[in-house]
């Protein structure tokens, strides 16, 4: 039966035009302001009769594959795995499949995975770049629609998604200073990434606003790994640097910090801990950890929405800045 049913037949059954059915089937109902009742009516009829559109013919006609590529740094990073889950869910609900690739934070690997994804004729890309020192042209090497998120990219076209890294870190560090903490250590990430630059800038601004001199001995710059953070805290101790609070620039770095303190038998309340990113387990940790929570669902939704607009040729004139949430955990 499904093979004999056409869009015209569905339109008659739903009491709408052929164009309306086509828009619903192609997931363009939101931008064309088709009512939710109409969308549901069409979708219910499609499911009831088992209609299956000819995807090959439709892709050839539209020159689309209804697939997108997602490029992230490392899926062992909880932030990226959450983004991946959200984007896959949103894409599936909108009739898209997602091809996922990890760069391992390598520029060379990034070139390889983007080349692979574009060879599969994806309709667009959502990318967390392995470097903030590259231009959009350097990264893409082609004209495929793309949305960058998390890490800023030089001369990128508008329509990307970032968090307010600087102001969020400044807010948290300022709260610490107001509570009496003056010696605050900072364990930073990869210096070539805009996220690290912005988070460190927020730390410095909080100190400056409070009239506290920036002390480079309290700042460790490494990369976004637990091993780097472990070595960073060890360096502070080996250098006999004193601090009453410590901020790790990412959740995975916090793991390295906690591992070091645990091995040294220093899991106590003498040093206040904070991190960028959040995890539900921190609510149950005996050593209270303040955090900056990135709203992954909002980031993913904004990135997918912007990419769809670019794929459809709609004009996008501004980036989207998503505010983070500062979470304080009491002693």
pLDDT in tens, the chain (331 residues): 344 678 888 999 999 998 898 888 877 777 678 898 999 999 899 888 877 665 545 554 556 789 999 999 988 889 999 999 999 999 999 989 999 999 998 999 999 999 999 988 899 999 999 888 778 888 887 778 999 999 988 777 888 999 999 999 999 999 999 999 999 999 998 888 999 999 999 999 999 999 999 999 999 999 889 999 999 999 999 999 999 999 999 999 999 999 999 998 877 668 999 999 999 999 988 889 999 999 999 999 999 999 999 998 888 889 999 999 999 997 6
pLDDT of residue 192: 86
For tokens 């760069």, what's the residue? 103
Q: How far apart are CA 235 and CA 230, in angstroms?
A: 9
246 shares its domain with 259:
yes
Burial class (CB in 10 A: 0-12, 13-18, 19+), 132: buried
Nearest to 72 by CA among 303, 226, 238: 303
* 189 located within any domain: yes
89 shares its domain with 106:
yes
250 shares its domain with 199:
yes
- Contacting residues for 2 by C-beta, under 8 A, at least 6 apart: 49, 50, 51, 52
pLDDT of residue 62: 54
88 shares its domain with 236:
no
pLDDT of residue 83: 96
32 shares its domain with 152:
no
Rg (the chain; Cα; Å): 24
pLDDT of residue 54: 59
Q: How many domains does the chain have?
A: 3
Burial class (CB in 10 A: 0-12, 13-18, 19+), 136: middle
**φ, ψ for residue 18 (rounded to 5)?**
-60, -35
Q: What are residue 41's DSSP bridge partners?
A: none
Within 10 angstroms of residue 204's Cβ, the number of other Cβ atoms is 18
> What CATH number did the domain enclosing 131 receive?
3.40.50.2300
- Contacting residues for 36 by C-beta, under 8 A, at least 6 apart: none
pLDDT of residue 325: 96
Within 10 angstroms of residue 296's Cβ, the number of other Cβ atoms is 21
303 shares its domain with 156:
yes
Q: How far apart are CA 153 and CA 297, in angstroms?
A: 22
pLDDT of residue 60: 47
Q: How far apart are CA 76 and CA 104, in angstroms?
A: 10
Q: Is 285 left (phi over 0), alpha (psi -120 to 50) or beta?
A: beta
pLDDT of residue 172: 98
For 217, the domain range is 165-293
Within 10 angstroms of residue 97's Cβ, the number of other Cβ atoms is 12
Q: How far apart are CA 282 and CA 181, in angstroms?
A: 21
177 shares its domain with 136:
no
For tokens 């805009």, what's the residue? 194
> What CATH number did the domain enclosing 43 receive?
1.10.260.40
pLDDT of residue 55: 52
pLDDT of residue 53: 65
Distance between start and end Cα atoms, the chain: 66
pLDDT digits (tens, 9 = 90+) for 88-106: 999 999 989 999 999 998 9
288 shares its domain with 169:
yes
* 331 located within any domain: no
Three-state DSSP state, 161: strand
193 shares its domain with 232:
yes
């Amino acid at each position: 039966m499904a093979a004999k049913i056409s869009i015209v037949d569905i339109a008659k059954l739903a009491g709408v035009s052929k164009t309306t059915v086509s828009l619903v089937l192609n997931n363009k109902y939101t931008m064309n302001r088709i009512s939710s009742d109409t969308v549901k009516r069409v979708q219910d009829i499609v499911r009831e009769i088992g209609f299956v559109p000819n995807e090959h013919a439709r892709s050839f006609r539209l020159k689309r594959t209804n697939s997108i590529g997602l490029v992230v740094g490392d899926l062992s990073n909880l932030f990226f795995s959450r983004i991946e889950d959200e984007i896959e869910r949103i894409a599936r609900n909108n009739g898209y499949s997602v091809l996922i690739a990890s760069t391992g934070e390598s520029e060379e690997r990034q070139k390889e995975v983007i080349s692979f994804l574009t060879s599969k004729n994806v309709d667009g890309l959502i990318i967390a770049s392995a470097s903030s020192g590259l231009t959009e042209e350097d990264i893409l090497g082609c004209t495929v629609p793309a949305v960058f998120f998390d890490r800023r990219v030089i001369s990128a076209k508008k329509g990307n998604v970032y968090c307010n890294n600087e102001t969020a870190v400044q807010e948290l560090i300022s709260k610490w200073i107001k509570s009496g903490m003056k010696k605050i250590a900072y364990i930073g990430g990869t210096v070539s990434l805009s996220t690290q630059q912005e988070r460190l800038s927020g730390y410095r601004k909080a100190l400056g606003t409070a009239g506290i001199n920036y002390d480079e001995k309290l700042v460790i710059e490494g990369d976004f790994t637990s091993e780097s953070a472990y070595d960073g805290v060890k360096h502070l101790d080996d250098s006999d640097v004193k601090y009453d609070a410590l901020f790790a620039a990412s959740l995975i770095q916090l793991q390295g910090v906690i591992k070091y303190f645990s091995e040294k038998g220093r899991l106590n309340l003498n040093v206040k801990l904070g991190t960028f990113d959040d995890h539900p387990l921190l609510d149950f940790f005996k050593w209270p950890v303040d955090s900056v929570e990135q709203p992954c669902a909002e980031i993913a939704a904004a990135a997918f929405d912007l990419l769809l607009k670019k794929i459809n040729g709609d004009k996008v004139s501004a980036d989207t800045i998503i505010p983070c949430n500062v979470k304080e955990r009491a002693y």
